[in-house]
C-alpha cells in the first residue's frame, strides 16, 4: 500500500528540517557535523601492524622475534603481539572512548568476546589479495588481506545475535579501517633493487585504494555509522627504508626539514590524496538526495601529519633530537637499524628510555610516539572522543 501523499510530504519536510541543522558544520575531510559527542560502545578495527594487538602472534606462534622481549617491556610487561614497547594507537583510542580493548579476532572464542569489539588487524597484512602479488611473483609477509579481515568480520556478525541486535551493535560501534597499504607498497617494489615508483603509482596504488573502498563499503552496508579511515604514515621517514636506500639516493633526495626520503613521502602523500578522494566519492554516493547529509560519517585520519610533526619537531613532543634513530635493534649509524639485528634478535640492544624515541624497531613506533599520534588524530575527532577522554590518555588538554 502506498503511503498517502500528505504523509510523504511530512516526511520530506522533516528530512529538510533535519538537514538544515545537520549540514551546518561540515568539514572538508568529511567530518562529522555534531557539536555533541556521539557515544560508541565498542571498536571494530581492520589494518596491519600499526593496529594488530595479537593476531599475527597467534598465526606464527611462539619462537618469532615479536614473541620475545623487549616487545611489551614498557606496558603489559610481556610480548602481547603489539609491535611496540607498549600500547599502540588503538589502545589509546579504546581508553579515551572508555570502551573495552577490542578482542583480537584470532583470540576470540565466545560471542561475549566479540561483543566487546573486535580487532581484525594482522601485522604484515595487505590491502590487496595475495593472488594479485603472487601472480606477479611477489612474496607476501603473511597471507592476510583486507578481504580475509572482511570475511572474519562477517563471521563475527553472524555470532552477534538477531539481525536487529547486529544492526544496533554496528550502529553503536566505532569502525577503524586502517592504516593499511604500507605492506602492499613494500612487497611490490620498495624492497627490490629497482625503481618502480611509476608502476607503484599507476598499477598498485589504485588496487590498494579499491581494496580499502571495498571494506569501508562493506562495514557501512552492515550498519556502521562512524567509520574512521587512517591514511598511511610517511614512508620516507621509516628507519628501515632509510637504511635500505642509504647510498642509493643523492643528498637532494632528502627533505631538509625531516631528513626523510622525498620520493617515498611523495608516494605516501599521493596515496593519502587518492584515499581522501575515494572517501569523498563514497560520501557523495551515500548522501541524502535532497539535503546532502548522511547518517554515516566516513572520516579520514591524518597519521601522516601526526608522524611528520614528531619527526620535524621532536623536542616539542618530548623526544630526543635524533628522531629517525631506532630504540631497539642494532647497526649503529644515523638510524641504528640493520635487518640482521632486528629488535628481539640475539645480541640486539634496547635504548635506556624508549619514551625519548619515536621509532621502536625501525618500522613501528614506541608507546610514547603512539600516544602522541593518537592525541593528534583524536584532536580532530572531537565528536567521537570528549576532551576528558583525551586528558585521560595524557594528551595536552585544558
Ligand X SMILES: *[C@@H]1O[C@H](CO)[C@@H](O)[C@H](O)[C@H]1NC(C)=O
Catalytic residues: 49, 361, 364
- Shortest Cβ distance from residue 130 to ligand X (Å)? 6
Instruction: Figure out which of the listed residues 33, 68, 116, 143 binds ligand X, where binding follows CB under 6 A.
Output: 143
- Shortest Cβ distance from residue 145 to ligand X (Å)? 6
Q: Tell me whether strands 117-119 and 103-104 are parallel, antiparallel or unpaired.
A: parallel
Q: Which stretch binds ligand X (CB under 6 A): 83-91, 164-172, 179-187, 249-257?
A: 164-172
Instruction: Figure out which of the listed residues 90, 130, 241, 310 binds ligand X, where binding follows CB under 6 A.
Output: 130
> Does residue 263 touch ligand X according to CB under 6 A?
no
Cα angle 10-11-16, degrees, rounded to a multiple of 5: 95
Quickly tell me which residue has 631528513 as its cell: 259
Residue number, 140 or 345, with CB nearest to ligand X: 140
Residue number, 122 or 311, with CB nearest to ligand X: 122
- Shortest Cβ distance from residue 31 to ligand X (Å)? 23
Neighbours of 9 (CB within 10 A): 10
Quickly tell me which residue has 611477489 as its cell: 138
> Does residue 144 touch ligand X according to CB under 6 A?
yes
Q: Which stretch binds ligand X (CB under 6 A): 28-36, 141-149, 230-238, 345-353?
A: 141-149
Q: Which stretch binds ligand X (CB under 6 A): 140-148, 222-230, 297-305, 355-363?
A: 140-148
Instruction: Figure out which of the listed residues 34, 37, 38, 168 binds ligand X, where binding follows CB under 6 A.
Output: 168
> Does residue 41 touch ligand X according to CB under 6 A?
yes
DSSP 8-state assignment for residue 81:
S
* DSSP per position, 243-294: HHTTTTS-GGGB-TTT--BHHHHHHHHHHHHHHHHHHHHHHHHHS-TTT---
> Does residue 134 touch ligand X according to CB under 6 A?
no
Residue number, 172 or 382, with CB nearest to ligand X: 172
> Does residue 165 touch ligand X according to CB under 6 A?
yes
Residue number, 166 or 201, with CB nearest to ligand X: 166
Distance from C-alpha of 33 to C-alpha of 49, rounded to nearest angstrom: 31
> Does residue 158 touch ligand X according to CB under 6 A?
no
Instruction: Figure out which of the listed residues 80, 148, 170, 308 binds ligand X, where binding follows CB under 6 A.
Output: 148
- Shortest Cβ distance from residue 193 to ligand X (Å)? 4
Q: Which stretch binds ligand X (CB under 6 A): 3-11, 12-20, 29-37, 142-150?
A: 142-150
Q: Which stretch binds ligand X (CB under 6 A): 165-173, 208-216, 339-347, 386-394?
A: 165-173
Distance from C-alpha of 266 to C-alpha of 244, rounded to nearest angstrom: 18
Residue number, 168 or 217, with CB nearest to ligand X: 168
Distance from C-alpha of 47 to C-alpha of 275, rounded to nearest angstrom: 15
Neighbours of 352 (CB within 10 A): 7
Between the alpha carbon of residue 227 and those of residues 11, 156, 307, the distances in Å are 27, 18, 21
With CB under 6 A, what is the number of residues at the site for ligand X? 10
| Contact track, ligand X, 1-40, x by CB under 6 A | ----------------------------------------
CB 339 within 8 A of CB 363: no
Give me 309's grid cell.
Answer: 610533526
Burial label for 193, CB within 10 Å (0-12, 13-18, 19+), is exposed
- Shortest Cβ distance from residue 242 to ligand X (Å)? 17
Site for ligand X in 50-79 (CB under 6 A): 59
Residue number, 37 or 172, with CB nearest to ligand X: 172
Q: Please, what's the largest Cα pairwise distance for the chain?
A: 78
Between the alpha carbon of residue 364 and those of residues 81, 332, 383, the distances in Å are 13, 18, 28
Residue number, 219 or 278, with CB nearest to ligand X: 219
Instruction: Figure out which of the listed residues 19, 37, 38, 172 binds ligand X, where binding follows CB under 6 A.
Output: 172
- Cβ within 8 Å of residue 261, ≥6 positions away: 235, 236, 237, 241, 242, 245, 249, 253, 254, 255
Distance from C-alpha of 321 to C-alpha of 303, rounded to nearest angstrom: 21
Distance from C-alpha of 95 to C-alpha of 396, rounded to nearest angstrom: 16
CB 171 within 8 A of CB 227: no
Instruction: Figure out which of the listed residues 28, 110, 158, 193 binds ligand X, where binding follows CB under 6 A.
Output: 193
Binding site for ligand X (CB under 6 A): 41, 59, 130, 143-144, 148, 165, 168, 172, 193
Amino acid at each position: 500500500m502506498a503511503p498517502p501523499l500528505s504523509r510523504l510530504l511530512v516526511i520530506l519536510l522533516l528530512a529538510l528540517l533535519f538537514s538544515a541543522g545537520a549540514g551546518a558544520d561540515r568539514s572538508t575531510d568529511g567530518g562529522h557535523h555534531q557539536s555533541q559527542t556521539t557515544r560508541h560502545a565498542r571498536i571494530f578495527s581492520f589494518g596491519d601492524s600499526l593496529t594488530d594487538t595479537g593476531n599475527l602472534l597467534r598465526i606464527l606462534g611462539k619462537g618469532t622475534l615479536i614473541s620475545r622481549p623487549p616487545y611489551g617491556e614498557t606496558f603489559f610487561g610481556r610480548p602481547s603481539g603489539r609491535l611496540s614497547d607498549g600500547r599502540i594507537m588503538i589502545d589509546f583510542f579504546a581508553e579515551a572512548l572508555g570502551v573495552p580493548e577490542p578482542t583480537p579476532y584470532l583470540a576470540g572464542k565466545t560471542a561475549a568476546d566479540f561483543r566487546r569489539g573486535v580487532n581484525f588487524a594482522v601485522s604484515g597484512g595487505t590491502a590487496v589479495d595475495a593472488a594479485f602479488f603472487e601472480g606477479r611473483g611477489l612474496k607476501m609477509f603473511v597471507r592476510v588481506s583486507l578481504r580475509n579481515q572482511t570475511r572474519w568480520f562477517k563471521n563475527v556478525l553472524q555470532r552477534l545475535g538477531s539481525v536487529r541486535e547486529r544492526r544496533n551493535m554496528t550502529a553503536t560501534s566505532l569502525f577503524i579501517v586502517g592504516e593499511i597499504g604500507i605492506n602492499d607498497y613494500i612487497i611490490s617494489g620498495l624492497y627490490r633493487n629497482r625503481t618502480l615508483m611509476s608502476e607503484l603509482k599507476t598499477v598498485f596504488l589504485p588496487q590498494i585504494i579499491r581494496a580499502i573502498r571495498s571494506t569501508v563499503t562493506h562495514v557501512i552496508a552492515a550498519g556502521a555509522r562512524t567509520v574512521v579511515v587512517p591514511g598511511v604514515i610517511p614512508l620516507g621517514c621509516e628507519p628501515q627504508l632509510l637504511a635500505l636506500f642509504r647510498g642509493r639516493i643523492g643528498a637532494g633526495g632528502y627533505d631538509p626539514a625531516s631528513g626523510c626520503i622525498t620520493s617515498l613521502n611523495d608516494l605516501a602523500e599521493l596515496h593519502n590524496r587518492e584515499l581522501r578522494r575515494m572517501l569523498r566519492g563514497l560520501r557523495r554516493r551515500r548522501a541524502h538526495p535532497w539535503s546532502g547529509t548522511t547518517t554515516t560519517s566516513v572520516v579520514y585520519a591524518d597519521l601522516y601529519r601526526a608522524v611528520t610533526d614528531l619527526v620535524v619537531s621532536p623536542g616539542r613532543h618530548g623526544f630526543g633530537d635524533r628522531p629517525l634513530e631506532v630504540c631497539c635493534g642494532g647497526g649503529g649509524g644515523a638510524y641504528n637499524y640493520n635487518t640482521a639485528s632486528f629488535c628481539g634478535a640475539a645480541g640486539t640492544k634496547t635504548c635506556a628510555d624508549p619514551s625519548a624515541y619515536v621509532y621502536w624497531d625501525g618500522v613501528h613506533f614506541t608507546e610514547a610516539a603512539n600516544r602522541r599520534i593518537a592525541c593528534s588524530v583524536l584532536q580532530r575527532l572531537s565528536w567521537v572522543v570528549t576532551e576528558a577522554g583525551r586528558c585521560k590518555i595524557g594528551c595536552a588538554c585544558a
